[in-house]
Amino acid sequence: MNIQSFLGRTAIRLAPFIVLCATPALAQDDSVGDLIQKSGTIGYAIILVSVIALAVIIENFITLKRDKLAPPEVIEEIRGLFDDEQFQDAMELCENEPSFFTTVCGAGIGKINHSYEVIEKSIEEMGDEESIRLHQKISWLSLIANVAPMMGLLGTVSGMVEAFNKISSSGGQASPAELAGGISKALLTTMFGLVVAIPVTASFAFLRNRMVRTIIETGAIIEDLFERFRPESR
């Protein structure tokens, strides 16, 4: 396991502890539900965003595995068909077993009767297209990681404005307890925003690194498969 993978897995495993450590700091006698209720509309919006982020993380943890993007058994079967020059069967296999590997490989097989330059260009274009599609799947995590703290800051600013309005309406005689309560409520949304952003950022980095590594490894396999069509290798 390389250092990036280790750090990514460690960060994700620590994410629940970040939430557990952050919540008691403000909770005291309040439950998590009470804190969410106190945070108001923006707090509920941040919770909704966190649920969306969790769904995206789970989906991509399942679908961005190397065995899903480039199934080893399919690679071996394609390699055997290439060795036997059964390219039509290889094309049918690619169509029946959709994955990153088979989609890109199928693009090359479809140009098998053309020059190597045409085959190579077709593979590169499909590889770029599929890579963009995979990046788009995890880009939502980057968006959420950036938006969640900003939503929290918006809630904090709104809460502070409300607290100062109380001071103004009371002629500057607002009690410290009232001000402390208002400020505490205002800071809740910032805390929620950070609690969401930290694990989501870690998950995004881990998934992106896993995806890039798999794309590079799969590209090398496909390049090796089609190397036999290079003019100087014949």
CA of 54: how far to CAs of 59, 137, 138, 197, in Å? 9, 13, 12, 11
Residue 10: CB atoms within 10 A of its CB come to 11
Q: Is 38 left (phi over 0), alpha (psi -120 to 50) or beta?
A: alpha
pLDDT in tens, 77-101: 999 999 999 999 999 999 999 999 9
Provide the pLDDT for residue 155.
Answer: 87
Higher-scoring residue by pLDDT: 165, 199? 199
**pLDDT tier at 27 (50, 70, 90 boundaries)?**
very low
Rounded Cα distance between 16 and 23, Å, is 11
- Please state whether the predicted TM-score (pTM) of the whole model is above 0.95: no
Task: Specify whether the CB–CB gap between 53 and 200 falls below 8 A.
Answer: yes
Rounded Cα distance between 43 and 154, Å, is 10
Higher-scoring residue by pLDDT: 160, 146? 146
